[in-house]
């Protein structure tokens, strides 16, 4: 869970200048039949990390070099009709939080957008590779 916690810390710092937005330490579970990030708009929710461990280099002594791909998703929902003027900066800052995670061989982040009715759901996917 260390990467998730570090990511929450980084996003919190990046959003400190955006008073209309916040970050939750809760997981993005459901409250009744509604996801928390849909219920609490303008709040970033960071999901649990998923680790995929693979053999990178086999060795003769069976002490193979492993590569770990850690994926963490984060979610942010906003009202499509009432976007804040700084939404593009907020999205860039949430993506830039990946750069603050140190000790990784590779850090990547991307955002996808899903519009349903009058809400926009931004799904951030962070990928971290360690060896």
pLDDT at position 58: 77
Strands 43-46 and 22-24: parallel
Other Cβ atoms less than 10 A from the Cβ of 7: the count is: 25
pLDDT at 103: 84
CA–CA distance, 70 with 87 (Å, rounded to integer): 27
Q: Which residues contact 42 (CB under 8 A, 6 or more apart)?
A: 20, 21, 22, 76, 77, 78, 84
What is residue 19's predicted lDDT score, i.e. its pLDDT?
92
C-alpha pair distances (Å), 116 with each of 78, 93, 129: 11, 24, 33
Report residues of the chain scoring pLDDT below 70: 1
Q: What confidence score (pLDDT) does residue 61 get?
A: 79
- Could you give the number of structural domains in the chain? 1
CATH number at residue 19: 3.30.2000
> What domain range includes position 69?
2-130
Q: Read off the pTM.
A: 0.90
> pLDDT value at position 77?
97
Q: Looking at the chain, which runs of residues are DSSP E strands?
A: 22-24, 30-31, 34-35, 43-46, 50-57, 65-79, 106-116, 119-130
């Amino acid at each position: 869970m260390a990467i998730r916690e570090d990511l929450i810390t980084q996003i919190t710092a990046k959003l400190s200048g955006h008073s209309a937005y916040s970050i939750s330490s809760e997981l993005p579970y459901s409250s009744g039949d509604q996801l928390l990030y849909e219920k609490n708009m303008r709040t970033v929710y960071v999901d649990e990390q998923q680790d995929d461990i693979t053999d990178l280099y086999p060795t003769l002594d069976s002490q193979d070099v492993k590569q770990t791909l850690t994926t963490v998703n984060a979610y942010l929902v906003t009202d499509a009709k009432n976007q804040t003027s700084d939404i593009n900066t907020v999205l860039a800052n949430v993506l830039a939080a990946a750069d603050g995670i140190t000790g990784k061989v590779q850090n990547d982040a991307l955002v996808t957008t899903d519009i349903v009715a009058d809400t926009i759901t931004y799904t951030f996917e962070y990928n971290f590779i360690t060896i």
